[in-house]
Amino acid sequence: MKLTLTSAEKAVSVIQSNQRVFVHSVFASPRPLVNALSQRASELRNVEMVHIHTEGDAPYAEEGMEKSFHVNALFVGPNMRKAVEEGRADYIPVFLSECPALFRKGILPIDVALIQVSPPDKHGYCSLGVSVDIAKAAVDTAKIVIAQLNRHMPRTHGDGIIHIDRIHSFVEGHEPLLEAEISKPDEIEMAIGKHVAALVDDGATLQMGIGAIPNAVLSCLGNHKNLGIHTEMFSDGAIPLIESGVINGSQKTNHPGKTVSGFVMGTKKLYDFIDDNPQVVLLDIAYVNDTHVIRRNPKVTAINSAIEVDITGQVCADSIGSRQFSGVGGQMDFIRGASLSEGGKPIIALPSSTSKGLSRIVPMLKPAAGVTTTRAHVHYIVTEFGVADLYGKNLRQRAMALVGIAHPNHRESLEKEIWQRFHKIGS
């Protein structure tokens, strides 16, 4: 068992034109390897880069790199939006739960996986750290695996354990991980958080993401009991509830007592919390986001966001008209899993209007907007003005319920649209 280090430049020299390269996800993106590969642009052609959301710079997607690299993004993060708009990158619509199958079934076979890992333990095992998600499948199937070794990467329990024999090249890169900015909820977001928290039952299993609204919800759950977490990702907001015992996982069917996730996004406080913490397990996203797995937990409460919702309940969460903003991700995985869970509650939470005062509850989605979650899957829509329970309601009843939680400035115009469409106002 021997670990041999090399330079980033030498490690990525094995990558050839016309190959497909996977880049480790979110805050695990191996920047020294990415930068070294990007510097080979003049000698490479048509290298396909595949990944979900990655943080930090993505020089291979910058203007002028088109002949050398092309991105096939499974989720569009901030560093990819301009590249997608300008044609240097493409987006593949796919449920997050099914991304690993693209690798495992050979639909997108991986030639080289660029990953970031913790140093090996005495048995020779490294950890994928903060992002197991789809990286586990990439490592399992790639012909070549190149790893940045980083002592700042936390060792996490679960599926992200890799023996050094599986890794072909190691490059040292001991740099602190990038961190997510944890925003403080404003008045509107706190109002939404309170409405959502009122829907959460004791003993519920939570799924939520990062951001001001999830943080607002979590801050309102201090008096709840025996909550659990089974989620594609979590952030710092969950830590106080875990430490206080509000989140203890005691009622979960799958992995009782454990906080289950596919990846984490947060600050060094979160990274330190998950480091060698057996209470937290990061697992393959094909398992975490499997609807059949999700539904086995009790009272699954899935809290997701949206860009806009039409008056029949169609949810757009990944695009602004034809502009690709993010991706399908795991929203549908958990919305469906929660609806099938005994006592489950699928929730879409969003402010009633944009920062410019435009209504986010609309008569019709913008032209070319994607339907992330269908109206047949939607149950609860929450804004700062309350909760609309759409389950079991017809189209007109849904529309009237949504008008009730729209911003007051837009209710009259929405009612006119309802009258034109359904020829009736009211229940």
Domain end (from 143, 172, 201)? 172
Q: What is the CATH number of the domain that holds 397?
A: 3.40.1080.20
Answer whether residue 128 is part of any domain. Answer: yes
Together in a domain, 216 and 356: yes
- Which residues are CB-contacts of 174 (< 8 A; sequence separation ≥ 6)? 149, 150, 151, 152
- pLDDT of res. 209: 80
Answer whether residue 182 is part of any domain. Answer: no
Give 10-residue mean pLDDT values along the chain (427 residues).
Answer: 87 98 98 98 97 96 96 97 96 97 98 98 97 98 98 98 97 96 90 98 94 92 97 95 97 98 97 98 98 98 96 96 95 97 97 96 96 96 98 96 98 95 76
- The residue segments making up the domain with residue 347 are 187-420
Question: Within 13 A of 408's CA, how many CA atoms are on the CB side?
Answer: 1
Together in a domain, 167 and 249: no
Answer whether residue 179 is part of any domain. Answer: no
Provide the domain count of the chain: 2
Answer whether residue 334 is part of any domain. Answer: yes
Together in a domain, 392 and 274: yes
Report DSSP letters for 336-375, one per residue. Answer: HHHHHSTT-EEEEE--SB-TTS-BSEESSPPTT---SB-T
Together in a domain, 77 and 203: no
Together in a domain, 320 and 348: yes
Positions annotated as catalytic residues are 232
Together in a domain, 253 and 145: no
Answer whether residue 77 is part of any domain. Answer: yes
Answer whether residue 178 is part of any domain. Answer: no
Domain end (from 172, 197, 231)? 172
- pLDDT of res. 427: 60
Together in a domain, 148 and 101: yes
Domain end (from 139, 172, 205)? 172
